[in-house]
Each structure stands twice: as structure tokens, then as C-alpha cells.
Amino acid sequence: MKVGVLALQGAVEPHAEALRDLGATPAPVRTPAQLAGVDALVVPGGESTTMSKLLDTSGLAGPLSDRLSSGMPAFGTCAGMIVLAREVLDGRADQRSYGAIDIAVRRNAFGRQVDSFEADLDVAGLEDSFHGVFIRAPFVEAVGPHVEVLAAVDGHPVLCRSGPVLVAAFHPELTPDRRVHRLFLEAGA
């Protein structure tokens, strides 16, 4: 399986390494042609408003919307969660979100950079806890009826799945634990 990693900003190589470790073939995606050549897409963390602008200037905004609308599997981490959400509660007026998963998300919900933290998460479907790295992390404030909450922190969803779309408020690529990436690959990627 060829899994694209949106390579406009963020932790591209750590996601690629996780995918390789699980037997997938990662490919950087910077152009519409590269997007057309992948079976699924990882949208990494970064800065969500900047990512929105880069999607426009790269020409990827429309093709990405089309692929997501047609059911392409996608995995968004941190800013990627924001990009894939139905609604961004505190985003800029020109910030794009793709509605690939029926969630309303709040940017930087846990606080500023200095409020970044790590936590052991109880994840539905995983036997042992998963160590999550949260960096200026968002959280989910509302989920649609077909969204499964897989993990939460202080009552706020931080890992959600709906069909072939998985989103995480944290950075699983920054740990050696590949189980969250495996959840994505097993769910349809």
C-alpha cells in the first residue's frame, strides 16, 4: 500500500518511518500529481492556518477535497486533525477544514507551547496504554453520531475514528510505539 504523507510542513519523516516499520510504502505529497498516486494520506502536525494556506498555494486544496470526499483513507495528527475536521471552533476566517470526519475541534485547546505535555492514554482496542505526546494540542469538542472516540484526556476526545479516517490530537510519530499508525492502516488504509 502506498501511503502519502502531506509534505508541506510538519513531522513528515517520522510518519514515513512509522509507516515503513509497518510494511506500508510512504511517499511525500507536495503536488496534485503525487496525491493522485497514493492510496491513503497522513496529514501531519504543524501549524493549521499555515497548512491551509500551503494547501491553496500548492494546488492541493481542490484535489485533496475531492479525494477525501470520495472516501480516501486519511490520518491527521494535531494540526492534521484540525485540517480534517468538519468545524474549527477558533480558526481564522480563511482557514480551510475538509469535513472528512464529523468533529468540531478547538485549536491549541490544552494551551500554548509551554503547556505541552505527555500522557498515557487508554485507547479503545489497544491492550496496554499508549504514551501520547501533546504539543499545543487541539481537542474535540463535539462528535457526530458516526464518530468513535478511542481515547480522551480530562473528558476531551483526543483520538477519534470514523470509517477510513483517524485523527489524533497528539503525535504518535514521535514515539517508537506504532500501534496508532497500525490502527489507521487496519481501518482501511
CB count, 10 Å around CB of 21? 12
Calpha distance 95→93 (Å, rounded)? 6
Q: Which residue has the cell 519523516?
A: 13
Strand partners, 41: 4, 74
Calpha distance 89→92 (Å, rounded)? 9
Name the grid cell of 29. 505529497
The amino acid at 56: D
Enumerate the active-site residues.
78, 171, 173
Which candidate, 42, 40, 44, places its Cα nearest to that of 2? 40
